[in-house]
Amino acid sequence: MFSLLLSLTRLIIFITYVSLFSVIFYVASFFWSEKTTSRNGLILRDCIIKTTTWILGIRTTVYGEIPLIQGLIVANHRSYFDPIVIVGHLNAFPVGKKEVASWPLIGYLCKISGVVFVDRKCQDSRQETCDNIKEIINNGHSVLNFPEGTTHILPTTVDFNYGSFKTATEIKAAIIPIAIDYKVISDAFVDDDTFIPHFLKCFGKLTTEIKITYFPPLYSDDAEYLLKTSKEMIDKELIRYREDWNSNT
């Protein structure tokens, strides 16, 4: 009962303050230029992320040094919360599936904060996403991509999609691998999960423990090497996380 009350309270607070900020931003955007709206969208995003992680009891253990250079960030994928954690540490534009754009509140925040939406089943959409990635990185920003293309609860990563690594080599961008995982395996957003039931299940705990590792940038004109090396680094770290958690239970 306590778990349900806690998660419901958090959900109500989350919906209330996100709705309030979103309405204020929407009205104010009519008086801003496109450039100002984009800049303020990132400010709003960062503010909401910091508040959200505090409200939800997120406890993150960080390994490695947070990258200061721009490039293509590649991470394994567990949940819709992955980009929130990562973007809370560094400034990047996430690549997300187009379905998220239709989520109430969340979709609007994604749109105003620079999320690059992609329909992975559509070749034209994938190509457009690659072009957007190049443009964003060439303009001095980082892009966050999840090359698995799906979430799951397997102990290590599934096959990485090749396209984003090829895109990085075409503009000689750094690849920045990131590993991320949750102590409670069921915190992953998988199968037929929907947002509110998953939220209530995941954030009914006092704290949600997350480990994240920032690896040094990789440089190469060989996309296969970048893919293989990134995957091996992330897989090794995911195994280490689970061993650490299991040894402390």
Q: 60-192+206-247 domain in CATH 3.40.1130.10? A: yes
The closest alpha carbon to 175, from 223, 211, 131, belongs to 223
Residues 65-93: tens digit of each pLDDT: 999 999 999 999 999 999 999 999 998 99
| Per-residue confidence (pLDDT) for residue 244, from 0 to 100 | 96
| Per-residue confidence (pLDDT) for residue 249, from 0 to 100 | 66
Residues 168-214: tens digit of each pLDDT: 999 999 999 999 999 999 999 987 888 889 999 999 999 999 999 99
Residues 26-45: tens digit of each pLDDT: 999 999 998 999 899 999 99
* HEC secondary structure over the chain: CHHHHHHHHHHHHHHHHHHHHHHHHHHHHCCCCHHHHHHHHHHHHHHHHHHHHHHCCEEEEEEECCCCCCCEEEECCCCCCHHHHHHCCCCEEEEEEHHHHHCCCHHHHHHHCCCEEECCCCHHHHHHHHHHHHHHHHCCCEEEECCCCCCCCCCCCCCCCCHHHHHHHHCCCCEEEEEEEECCHHHCCCCCCCHHHHHHHHCCCCCEEEEEEECCCECCCCHHHHHHHHHHHHHHHHHHHHHHHHHCC
Q: How far apart are CA 105 and CA 25, in angstroms?
A: 12
Q: How far apart are CA 7 and CA 158, in angstroms?
A: 31
Q: 74: which 2 tokens?
A: 């590649």
Compute the C-alpha angle 145/52/113, nearest 5°: 45
Domain positions in the chain are: 60-192+206-247
Q: How far apart are CA 218 and CA 216, in angstroms?
A: 7
Buried b (16+ CB within 10 A) or exposed e, 100-132: beeeeebbbbbebbbbbbbeeeeeeebeebbeb
Q: How far apart are CA 102 and CA 138, in angstroms?
A: 29
Amino acid 84 reads I
Q: 9: which 2 tokens?
A: 């309270």
Distance of CA 42 to CAs 65, 70, 156, Å?
Answer: 23, 16, 32
Residue 114 dihedral angles phi and psi, to the nearest 5°: 90, 15
Residues 98-139: tens digit of each pLDDT: 887 777 778 888 888 888 888 766 766 678 888 889 999 999
**pLDDT of 58 above 70:** yes
The closest alpha carbon to 112, from 52, 45, 48, belongs to 45
Q: How confident is the model at residue 230 (pLDDT cuts 50, 70, 90)?
A: very high
